[in-house]
Structure formats: structure tokens, C-alpha cells
Structure 1
Amino acid sequence: SWLGRAPPAGAPGSTFLSTATTYFLNGVEHFFSLSGGCCFFSWFKFYLYVFFFRRSATGFKHNLIQDEDCFQSFCNKIFAGWDFCITSENAAKLKKKTLLYELKVSLYIRSMIVKLQKIAERTHKEKCRLYFIRLILNLFVIGVLAACFYCIYLATIFSQKVFVVSPLLQVNFIVDLIFEYLPSIVITFANFITPVLFSFIINFEDYSPAFEIRFTLMRCVFMRLTSIVVLLFSVWSRITKCKDDPCICGYNHDLYPCWETHVGQEMYKLTIFDFIVIISVTIFVEFPRKLLLRYSNSALAKWMSQQEFSIPQNVLEIVYGQTICWIGTFYCPLLPAICTLKYFFIFYIKKVSLIKNCRPATRPFRASSSNFFFLGVLLIGLSLACVPVIASIAQINCSRACGPFVNYETSWDVVPDTVSQLPKGVEQLLWALSSEAFAVSFFVITCLAMFYVIALAGAHKRVINELRHQLEMVGLILPPKGGSM
């Protein structure tokens, strides 16, 4: 159940995980008050925001300084890339492979200049034709996304209808299990098909190689994160809909006596099914594909080729799972522990699959330069996770059947009620920190800090350009070896 109390007998969601959450929270309820839980959740989100902004700002500064710095990159790798403190043979081999891969990436980036020159030499007729093709393909992508979101909505409504509205429609265990996990199945299937489709479509849009990767990732990110939004919207549209509008309790008490448990269960299902799919793909797709390529010389084996390990797609899988964890933490406190175990096993499964089943990507990928992009995506996921949680805390009425907030209108009401019981000085301090004046001041200070960071990065870049110019001048002034002034 949700936060410490079990749902009534026969209520939807009385599963093993819900019961485990109940026992877990009953054991620690003496250590955490209700308002303490809300405050801890709020401060945890705030800490994550500060952490991601700091890391993103660092990556942004590095991108500004290192942009268009190919010559310096080659010099650093060739003349200063080796670590002379290495004493182990295995460490030396690993360092050699790392430097070799970095040089391949740099050479690949240099080869993009040829394609960029061809792009600049296009005629107006070629540009119009290309823009028309891009327009058609983007409309097709929008149609695919809309179809996926509509299927997720229909699957969620059907699943709710079977298990909540009309329990008599249940057939047997296998069919009921499929119906119960139907939204998760549809979301996972959409997340599995759309990246392949986007990677195929991007070949006809004729973008620059660097933009191809980023644009494909942006489409995949939008698909994965928006699918969670559609699922929550579908669930909440059922929770807040009553026969007699508006709902007397603020939600549909007859069908969802403990709606927080229901939302938490949906996050549980997404997490568990995502884990099952990752393991299944590794065991039943990647491993047999490797065996087929090793022991077969058929045309099918040659056409399939060896599986590539795509770093961006694997990172997006982690971002997707982390977003689900953030959303579900408030409704199911055991979810972070489950996600920790999930990614512990996934790490070693992916490691074995990478070594045994996969080969490096044909297109080199520089993970260090995309650190800012991935942190930005993770920050978007965190912001997306905050929206439904904050809306449910502040807007939707608490369940009257379970949960620690049954005596309050909304979950947030416990915070001012508890603050009013604190000493006068502490109460005034907390109200001052939550005032609009403090929020505006904090926003202005944050903007000034961001402006300072950007200005400092620009100053560093100008210094680097000046030093590079001085080195070029020194190279022109110095005589060749063996010559005289």
C-alpha cells in the first residue's frame, strides 16, 4: 500500500509489493513524521536539481572551451595523452586502446568537414527538395508518435476497465497478467520499435553526422518520457472522473478507494517489465544472434551482422528507468531499492553482453563531449517527474481509505499544519524561506550565477585563442632546425 497503511480488503492493488511496502514503513514510522517525509522528498528533489545544474554547467564550460579545437586535441592525445604512472600491463593495454579509440573519434570528426562542405555547396533547388523531404518525414514521425501515444492511452483505459471497473471480465491467470501489464507492454514495445524507425528515417533527411545522432536521440527521449506522461494522464483521467461531476471526494472513491496505491503499482509494473525486457533481449536476441553469426554462413547471418553496442540508447534506457523511479518514489517508497537492485544486475548483464555478444559501433561516439547533453536529458526527466508528483500533492485530494494523510484535504496540508506547531522563530524562518520575495531573490541570484559562469567560460575561451595565436606567431618567427636568425 501507499505510505504505511494497507488498502481495505478487496481493494485494487493489494499485491505482494504493496504489502512489503506497508511492513517496511510500519517499521520506520517512529523515525519519520509525515511532514518530515514531505520535506525530505522536497529537499531531495532540490538537491538533485542543484547537482544536475552544477554538472551541466561544468559540461557547458568544457564544450565552450573545447569547441573547434581539433589541433589541440590531436596534440594532447599524441604528446601528452600517456600516463607515465602506469605500472600494470593490463592498465597499459587499456590506456593504449582508449587513446586509439579517441584518435579514431577525432579523425571521424575531422572527416565530417567534407560533408559539411558539400552541404554548404547545395543549390536552391536541392535545398527546396531536401526541405520538402524533411517536412514529409517529420510529419510521418509525428504521426507515428501520435499513434503510439493513442495506443498507450487505449491500453491503459482497457486495463483499468478490466481490473477496476469490471472485474468479472477477468479470464485466467495468464490472460489477466497480460491485461494487467498491457500498458507496460505497449510502452515497452513502442520504445523498442521507434528508435529503429527513427534511425532509418534519419538517413533520408541528410543532416550533418553530429546532428543526426543528437536529433535521433531527441526523438527517442521525447518518445520515452512522453509515454510516461500519457500513462499518468490516462490513469488520472480515470481517477478524477466520477459519474456525478464534480467528484464529492475530489476523486473517484468508489473505483479507486486508495488511488495512490494504484499509481504506485503502475510505476512498479513499468520498472519490473523494463527489467524483464532488458534481460529477455540479452538472452533471447543478442546471444542467439551471436551464435548464429559464429556457427552459420547463411545469407541471413551475413545480412544481420554482429550486434552493435549503442552507448546513447543504453544511456537513454537508464534515464527512462530513473524517471520512472523518481515519479514512483512518493507513492511506493520501496521503488528506489528495487531500482538499485535492478541496475546492479543490469550493469553486469550489459557488461557480459558487451564483451561476448557485441562489437563497437561503426560510428565512433565521444561520450565525454556528450556529457552535457545526457545530463540535460536527465534534468528534463527530473523536471518531468516533479510535475505529476507536485500536482498530486497540491491538487488531488488524499485517499480516504488509506495512507498517512487521510485526515488532510491534500498531502501538502500536513506541512503548514506541522510548521505552525514549531517554535515561533523557526516558524517565521520557514515562512520567510517559502515567501515570494525569497523565491524571486533566489531566482535573480541563480541567473547572475549562470551569467557569471557563461562569461567566465567565454573569457577562458578567449585566453585559449590568444595563446594559440601566440604559438602560431612563435612558430613563424623561430627559424627551422639548423638555420640561423
Structure 2
Amino acid sequence: MAFTLHVPETPEDWGREPSPYDEDEVHHSFHELIQEQSQRVAASEPQVELELQDIEPDGSHQDVLGQGHTPAYSAATLRILASMPSRTIGRSRGAIISQYYNRTVRLRRRGSRSLHSVVDHAARPSLRSHDLELDPATREEEEKRGLLVRELQGLTVAQQDHMLREMPLSLAEKRCLRQESRTPRGKLRSQQDRHGVCSFCKQLKYGCVLTLHNLGLGLLSSLHALTPWHYALKRIGGQFGSSVLSYFLFLKTLLAFNALLLLPLLAFIVGVQAAFPPTSPSPTPTFTGLELLIGGGSFTHTVMYYGYYSNTTVNQQCALPGDGSHCISGAGGLPYNMPLAYLFTMGMAFFITCITLVYSMSHSFGESYRVGSTSGIHAITIFCSWDYKVTQKWASRLQQDNLRTQLKELLAEWQLRQGPWNLCGRLRRVAVLGLVWLLCLGITLGCAVAVYTFSEFLIQSPVATGQVGLLVLPLMVSVTNLVAPYLYRMLAALEQHESPVLEVYVAICRNLILKVITLGILCYHWLGRRVDILKDQCWEDFVGQELYRFMVMDFFFTLVDTLFGELVWRLITERKLKRQRKPEFDIARNVLELIYGQTLTWLGVLFSPLLPAVQILKLLLLFYIKKTSLMANCQAPHRPWLASHMSTVFITLLCFPSFLGAAIFLCYAIWQVKPSSMCGPFRSLGTMYEAGKVWVHHLEQAGPRVSWVPWVYHYLLENTFFIFLVSTLLLAVIYLNIQVVKGQRKIICLLKEQISNEGEDKIFLINEIHSVYKRKERRSFLMPTLGLGENAHLSSRVTLAETVMVT
């Protein structure tokens, strides 16, 4: 008896609901299987032995009940198990056809071999082809293949590729099907071209489209050469793992944020003011080269800083320089209010950055925490991670290194199990942790007191008025930021964390506390102390130049740390100490340096609109320097660990302590601090925020045509209820996104549990069926005639197994 799968025989059947198998047919086949097995057991002994034994490919038999062997099942039983509904849920019509086609291809090849063995090869080709045409199996297979090809021809190219991709066929068979499904169109086109049906315009159009397509592919391939991280990130991930790779991915993210912040500033502030430069009464000093280090000199009278921008309408001619009240509008030009453009462009740029940060944080959170379990990831990494499109030798070796590093990280995470601690061990560990944290907090407090004392000394000292004295405070802060992390690292060696992830998180926490306290003291120094001292000067330019000097000094000390902390230490260990152990890449310290530099950029963008461009240049140089030093001077972590959540942690730290602190600093400067009366677009106002009020007052006097603009300003921008509503909606979106991620994780866990339960159910059903048939076999061998009770018992077992399978 043969069991066949339900496949539509005609194209009309294909339009029905794509149910791969008929449930009634499966149940009927199972019932017939039970009856057939019972009849064969009662009929003869050899048939039962043949059914209950596994026939090996070489013809030998293996007892299914042998000790230590997995039970082997008959072809009918396996066919029934393959026909169960749980194995066919969600199957498409193309998958059903392809499954039948795959089976018929094997039958065709088997039939072709047997047919060629019968037909003499010396016979005429026409006789052999006639014999092949008379083969019913081959004819049926060709009909099914033709139906599949016609089904593919009725779809678009994208749908054809999608269906062929989902079919469980070999690449050669898929390639043949794709060629046959697209051949009629190609033949029709070639015939039309041959007979002159296609006109010259159509040929020209086809050639232009093909040329543009090839040009687009060439441009896309050339874009990879413009990105410095195209090949380097793969190499870093393959040699050093995902933990070190997370630093460079975070650096790449910061590049995108700074580019997004710089574009509106260039378009609406810097570019407009450069097109309409203000009249400067004082001569511009010459460039000496020291400006690259201190940020002053000739840079002060450029679009680099706040003081260069005018407080007038830039395309109007004013009677008095610096007076915006006696201006005549230019012919044919729209008025462009520079103070208003400066204020609203800064606000819009920060709003876009905030939305992008929140979206990146939520997306990273979803990607990191969506899958709650890593069970089975080792097999997936081994069998499903290889990219078969790789053809070059260096790319293949790079992918091998990447897979090997991933397996090391997965195995290290799997083997990391913290052993139970006794009471004495726990008390000793708590004491060590408390002592180390007290020492680290003492170091942080000492650094904060040193920065505050030194800043107050520089305010009262005349040394700070010179060009060299301007670098003293940035130098002192950079030294503390360089030395303190090394002290934290030395103290962390006493803690002896078993988890390297926990060790990195603790180091990030300690460095973050140091950076936050230091920046808080500096913000008070700039807006609290310097504003009172520089009342008669342009204090905004001083703050912008100070932040520029901090960025330059931070970059300089990063180079010093890379030189002495990695290169010199590697040379000492290899040549003096005669050891091959290289230093490891300090992820926590380097990431906090990136966050520190980005915070300086956000703090100073109001006083220096081109500071994001300086940050972009700094990040690009850091990428190449750190990559070169990593490849030459560092080694992979001696304890591999999987950095699955590091990107989420970095984005979160960038959002809340860094961006939120910078936003509070700038809001205080806009709403509370009085601008200087000597320079800048807000020189004649009490606060920077009053520029919006002045503009609304002019609009109210302009007439009823623009009366809606003051209404929008009063009820949307000045109203606290609207700001509270927008904040509430933003928090609601974040909360909903978190709940969606939690729901997805719960669904994934339920689906995994369902798959496990289905596997256990099938194992139970298979064992139940075989136990029934094996008992029948043994009873027939030992007792030819069974009692009525035994027969009833076996019949009930058979009925029970059938009922369970059908259910």
C-alpha cells in the first residue's frame, strides 16, 4: 500500500485555499496503516520482521529494539508523521508544488536510470526518445513541471524570486526553473527584434535603462569605499569580538548624530551669515597657527563663534551699523531675521537630535532584549551563519575568524556560572566591594575638589589672561580624566569579578560619575562665574573658545594614552619583559571618552555653531588611530564575553546623562542668562528667549493676515500645557514600545514552549505505536492463539493510539 500526498492536479485546484494536506485523508491513511500492520502481523512472520526492522542502505538489518539504539520507524509511519498538521502550518502553494516537484525529480532520475539500462544505447535516438515519451512517470512529471513554470510566469519578477527562494530545492533546480519561467518573454523579445517589430525608440529606451541600472550599481558599490568602517568593522569583530566592536559601532553612531546636528546649522545659520557678512569695525588679526590649539585669534571674527553673527535682518540695508531699527528691505528679497533664525534653528536641531536619540535607544533596546533565551544559538551559529556568496580567500578567512570569535563568546557565556558562596566568602566579598567603592568615590571627590579649586584660582589669577594660561584648566581636567580611570582599574583588580560584563559595567559607572561631576563644576564655572566677570565683554565667545580648547585637549590626551598606554606598553612587555602578552582594549574608558567629547559638543553648539564639524573631524581621526593601534598593539580579551546589550547601554548613557544635561545647560542659558551687549544676535535683549517675543510683537502689528502666527506661538510654544502634553506623548510612546518588546519576548517564549511540547507529543505517539505493534509481534510468536481479554486489550491500545494521533 502506498500513501501519496495531496497535490492539486489541475490549475483550477490551485486557486483553492492553500491547505497542504487533507486532514480527513491523513486520518484515513492512518486508519489504513493500522489495519495493514495488523493484517501483516497475523498473515506471516517475515513480513512483520521486515516491518519492524530498519533496513540499512547496504541491505543489512538492524533490530529496532536493540540496546542503546534509537528506534527506527517504517516508511509508512514516517509518512504519517510528515502529514501531521503541526508540520504543515503556514505552508504556501509554491512550497507544496515544490515539494511534489522535488519528489518527482527523484522519481524521474530513478526512472531514467532504469529506463536507460533497459533501452540499448546503440539504438536510434528517435527510438529512445519515443520510449521516453511513452513513460507515464516522466510524462506526469513534465506536466507538473509545466504547471509550475506557468504558475511562475504569471507572477512578477520579485514574486518569482520570493517563491523560488522559499522552495526546498537545490540551487541548480531553482536556476533551471527561473530560466524556464523567463525564457518565453526573452524568446518573444528576440523574435520581435529579429522581425523588426520593436522600434528604434524602444531599443534606445532599453539601452538607456540598462546603462542607468549599471551606473546605479557602480555608484552603490563605490559608496562602500567612502565609509571607513566597511571592511574594518568586520575585521575588528572577527579578531577581537563583539565587545571591542561595540566601541567602533558607537563611534559610527556619534558620527551620524553630529552630521544630523550640523546640517541645519549650516543651512540656516552659518551659510546665511557667510553669504551676508556683517561689517566689522575692528581689523581681523592674521592667522598664526596657534588658533588651532586655543581657538582664539583670527577664529574669533569668523562664523566659528557666536559673536560674529549679527542681530539684524541679514538681507536689509541698515542706516547705522549694528542697529536693526533703521533698516530698509532689499529689493525683491524676503526678510531673514538672524536672531530668530539662530534661536529656532538651535531648538529644531536639538529637537531632531532628541527624537533620533529616543528612537535609536528604543530600537536598540528592542534588538537587544527581544529574544529572551539563547538556547540553540550555538547550532544556529555553526550551521546557519556561513555566507555562501563569499568567493574571495581573504573574505572567507575573515568570516571564519568572525564565526570562531562568536563561538568563543557564546561558549564563555554558557560556561559562566557563579558558584555558591559560603557565609565567610560572602562577607569577605562585601567588605572588599565596599572598600573599593569607598576608595573610588574618594578619588572622584578629590578630582572634583581639585577642578573646582583650580577654576576659582584661575578666575582670580592674572595668569589666565595670557594665551598659554587659557590652556591650564583644560590641561588639568584632561589629566584627571586620564589618571583616574587607571586608578579605578587598579582597584577593580581587587574585586575579582567573575563576569567580564559586570566588570565593564562597574568601570563605566565609576568613570561616568567622574565625568558628570567634572562637567557640572565646569558648567557652573562658565555660566555662574565667568558671566559675572565678563559682563562688558563677549562672554559667549569665551565659553565657545573654552569648549573648543577642552575638545582639542581631550583629543591630544587620547593620542597620548594610545601612544603610551598601548604602543609603549607593548614594546616594554615584548622586548624587556620577554612576554607575548599585549594590553587589552579598555572599553569602558574609551567609550566614556567618546560620551565626554560628545557632551562638550552639545554644550558648546550654542556658542560655536561649527563645533559639530570639529567633532566629526575628531571622530574620524579617532577611528583610524584607534583601529591602527588596536590591530598592532592590542590583543583580544583573555575572557571572551558576548556584548549583546552594550550598544543599548551606550545609547542610554548618551541620551540621559549626556544629552539631558546639555539640554538643561542650554535652556538655562537661553531663558535665564543675560546676553552680552557687545556681540551676537541677542545683544540688545534681556534674554535670548525674548527674540521670539519681539518677533511675535512685530507680527501682531503687521495686520490680520499673519494673526495665526502669534496664536501658534502663544498657545503652542509658550504654553506649558502643550509642552507637558508633548512630553507625555513621548513617554507614552516609549512605554508602549517597551510593552511591545515585552510582548514579543513573551510570544517567542510561548512559541518555543509549543515547539518543545509538539516534539514531546510526537515522541510519545511514535513510542506508543511501536509498543503496540511490538507487543502484537511478540504475542504472535509466543502464543498463536490469544485470549479474548488480551485481544480486547490490544485493540483498545490501538484505538487509543489512533485517537491520540487524530486528536
TM-score (norm 1): 0.84
Change in Cα spacing, 1:29 to 1:364, as seen in structure 2 (3 Å) is farther
SS in 2 for 1:330: coil
- Paired residue for 1:418? 695
Which shows bigger deviation, 450-459 or 382-391? 450-459
C-alpha contact 1:261 1:331 (8 A) present in aligned 2: yes
Alpha-carbon deviations, 1:395-436, whole Å to 9, x = none?
111112222211001111112222333421122123322222
Q: Does 1:211 align with 2:211?
A: no
Aligned counterpart in structure 1 of residue 302 of structure 2, from 20, 28, 32: 20
Change in Cα spacing, 1:309 to 1:452, as seen in structure 2 (3 Å) is same
Q: 1:177-192 alignment to 2 at 5 Å? A: 177=468, 179-192=469-482
- Paired residue for 2:659? 382
- Paired residue for 1:247? none
- Paired residue for 1:373? 649
2:452 maps to a residue whose letter is Y
C-alpha contact 2:436 2:491 (8 A) present in aligned 1: yes
Q: Does 1:475 align with 2:759?
A: yes
Change in Cα spacing, 1:213 to 1:311, as seen in structure 2 (3 Å) is closer
The whole-number CA distance in structure 1 between the counterparts of 2:669 and 2:305 is 24
The whole-number CA distance in structure 1 between the counterparts of 2:619 and 2:561 is 16
- Paired residue for 1:150? 449
Q: Does 1:224 align with 2:515?
A: yes
Alpha-carbon deviations, 1:49-89, whole Å to 9, x = none?
1111111112222333223x121332331232222333333
C-alpha contact 2:505 2:588 (8 A) present in aligned 1: no
Q: 1:396-415 alignment to 2 at 5 Å? A: 396-415=673-692
Change in Cα spacing, 1:373 to 1:424, as seen in structure 2 (3 Å) is same
2:460 maps to a residue whose letter is K
- Paired residue for 2:94? none
RMSD between superposed Cα atoms in Å: 3.2
The whole-number CA distance in structure 1 between the counterparts of 2:295 and 2:593 is 27
The whole-number CA distance in structure 1 between the counterparts of 2:515 and 2:440 is 14
Alpha-carbon deviations, 1:24-50, whole Å to 9, x = none?
956996577211111111111111111
- Paired residue for 2:561? 281
C-alpha contact 1:310 1:361 (8 A) present in aligned 2: no
The whole-number CA distance in structure 2 between the counterparts of 1:292 and 1:136 is 32
2:729 maps to a residue whose letter is I
- Paired residue for 2:391? 87
Aligned counterpart in structure 1 of residue 749 of structure 2, from 424, 444, 465: 465
Q: Does 1:339 align with 2:620?
A: no
Q: Does 1:132 align with 2:422?
A: no
Q: Post-superposition shift, 1:323? A: 0.8
1:440 maps to a residue whose letter is F
Aligned counterpart in structure 2 of residue 438 of structure 1, from 707, 722, 726: 722
Alpha-carbon deviations, 1:422-477, whole Å to 9, x = none?
42112212332222222232233223322321221121111111121122223334
Aligned counterpart in structure 2 of residue 233 of structure 1, from 524, 547, 568: 524
1:21 maps to a residue whose letter is V
1:261 maps to a residue whose letter is D
The whole-number CA distance in structure 2 between the counterparts of 1:65 and 1:33 is 47
Q: Does 1:427 align with 2:710?
A: yes
C-alpha contact 1:155 1:182 (8 A) present in aligned 2: no
The whole-number CA distance in structure 2 between the counterparts of 1:330 and 1:305 is 46
C-alpha contact 2:444 2:513 (8 A) present in aligned 1: no
C-alpha contact 1:159 1:180 (8 A) present in aligned 2: no
Change in Cα spacing, 1:72 to 1:38, as seen in structure 2 (3 Å) is farther
Change in Cα spacing, 1:367 to 1:42, as seen in structure 2 (3 Å) is farther
Q: Structure 2 regions of 5+ residues with no counterpart?
A: 1-269, 284-293, 316-335, 700-705, 771-807
The whole-number CA distance in structure 2 between the counterparts of 1:477 and 1:371 is 40
- Paired residue for 2:584? 308
Change in Cα spacing, 1:365 to 1:392, as seen in structure 2 (3 Å) is farther
Q: Does 1:74 align with 2:378?
A: yes
Q: Post-superposition shift, 1:368? A: 4.2
Which shows bigger deviation, 390-399 or 435-444? 435-444
Across the two proteins, how many residue pairs are aligned to each other? 452
- Paired residue for 2:422? 122
Q: Does 1:455 align with 2:731?
A: no
SS in 1 for 2:675: coil
The whole-number CA distance in structure 1 between the counterparts of 2:710 and 2:393 is 62
Change in Cα spacing, 1:128 to 1:8, as seen in structure 2 (3 Å) is farther
Q: Post-superposition shift, 1:293? A: 4.0
Alpha-carbon deviations, 1:324-365, whole Å to 9, x = none?
111111111221221121222221111211122222222335
Q: Does 1:352 align with 2:628?
A: yes
C-alpha contact 1:65 1:457 (8 A) present in aligned 2: yes
SS in 2 for 1:386: helix
- Paired residue for 2:603? 327
Aligned counterpart in structure 1 of residue 638 of structure 2, from 339, 344, 362: 362
The whole-number CA distance in structure 2 between the counterparts of 1:190 and 1:145 is 9
Change in Cα spacing, 1:366 to 1:226, as seen in structure 2 (3 Å) is farther
The whole-number CA distance in structure 1 between the counterparts of 2:567 and 2:756 is 53
Q: Max radius of gyration: which structure?
A: 2
Higher RCO (C-alpha under 8 Å, 6+ residues apart): 1
The whole-number CA distance in structure 2 between the counterparts of 1:420 and 1:82 is 66
Aligned counterpart in structure 2 of residue 36 of structure 1, from 341, 344, 353: 341
The whole-number CA distance in structure 2 between the counterparts of 1:129 and 1:47 is 50
C-alpha contact 1:394 1:411 (8 A) present in aligned 2: yes
- Paired residue for 2:669? 392
Alpha-carbon deviations, 1:233-276, whole Å to 9, x = none?
22334225xxxxxxxxxx3346x622111211210111111111
Percent identity, aligned pairs only, is 22
1:16 maps to a residue whose letter is S
C-alpha contact 1:156 1:182 (8 A) present in aligned 2: no
The whole-number CA distance in structure 1 between the counterparts of 2:337 and 2:412 is 55
- Paired residue for 2:352? 47
